[in-house]
A and B are shown apart, each in its own frame.
Chain A
Amino acid sequence: DVKVTQSSRYLVKRTGEKVFLECVQDMDHENMFWYRQDPGLGLRLIYFSYDVKMKEKGDIPEGYSVSREKKERFSLILESASTNQTSMYLCASSLDGGDEKLFFGSGTQLSVL
């Protein structure tokens, strides 16, 4: 069965810390995505990647960076966490030319204190 795994379900960090959110997919998908989900705002795209070492900004990239050194892993980095980055973070992947279906991880609830 298809699987997208996010390394942490809950994470608590302090303001100014560098935070890494990890996502791994086992489906050999080319495309990977990071969204944040906030009540009343739905899902907003932060960054996505079409291939290893490639990245594209989404709608809200400010304060974030990403890394994709291997096809199966897509990391979201908060260089200096701030309280307004407290949110649910969802990773997703899709197959190129594979009917656009997104497969989602279960999410990481990040609290920045």
Chain B
Amino acid sequence: AQSVTQPDIHITVSEGASLELRCNYSYGATPYLFWYVQSPGQGLQLLLKYFSGDTLVQGIKGFEAEFKRSQSSFNLRKPSVHWSDAAEYFCAVEPLYGGSQGNLIFGKGTKLSVKP
């Protein structure tokens, strides 16, 4: 069965420092890959997605992610974190059976705290 692993439950970084959030997936073929962010008390917002092509994808709010097929990874990065980036981040995979209808499998999330 497809699965998504986010190994870090909670990460704390200093404002201005770089950030990398890890995501690994288990799937036979390359699925569609997503990163969502959830601010406190809010629903989830799409940061970026990878379907095919260039393995480095740019998203909103200065985030980027790199797909590495050999490592089954899709890590999220940001060169300089802002205090407003404090939130919970979810990696997600779309299983490709039954057509594509947005039915995603989510990781358990990584909570990001930002120190001033």
Minimum CB–CB distance from B112 to chain A (whole Å) comes to 15
Complex contact A100–B49 (CB within 8 A): yes
Minimum CB–CB distance from B113 to chain A (whole Å) comes to 15
Residues of B near A35 (CB, < 8 A) are 106
Complex contact A101–B102 (CB within 8 A): yes
Instruction: Say yes or no for B101: interface residue by CB 8 A criterion.
Output: yes
Most chain A CB within 10 A, of B32, B46, B49, is at B46
Minimum CB–CB distance from A17 to chain B (whole Å) comes to 25
Cross-interface CB contact of A104 among B41, B44, B101, B108, cutoff 8 Å: B44
Residues of A near B101 (CB, < 8 A) are 30-31, 48, 50, 94, 96, 100
A34-49 interface code vs B (CB 8 A; 1 in, 0 out): 0100001111110010
> How many residues on the B side are at the interface (Cβ–Cβ under 8 A)?
24
Instruction: Say yes or no for A62: interface residue by CB 8 A criterion.
Output: no
Cross-interface CB contact of A100 among B32, B43, B107, B108, cutoff 8 Å: B32
Residues of B near A30 (CB, < 8 A) are 101
Complex contact B43–A4 (CB within 8 A): yes
Instruction: Say yes or no for B100: interface residue by CB 8 A criterion.
Output: yes
Interface members, chain A 42-94 (any B CB < 8 Å): 42-45, 48, 50, 58, 90, 92, 94
Interface residues of A (CB under 8 A from B): 4, 30-31, 33, 35, 40-45, 48, 50, 58, 90, 92, 94, 96-97, 99-102, 104-107
Interface residues of B (CB under 8 A from A): 9, 32, 34, 36, 41-46, 49, 51, 90, 94, 100-109
Please name the 6 residue pairs, one residue from A and one from B, whose CB atoms are nearest each other, closest first: A104-B43, A94-B102, A42-B108, A43-B106, A104-B44, A42-B106
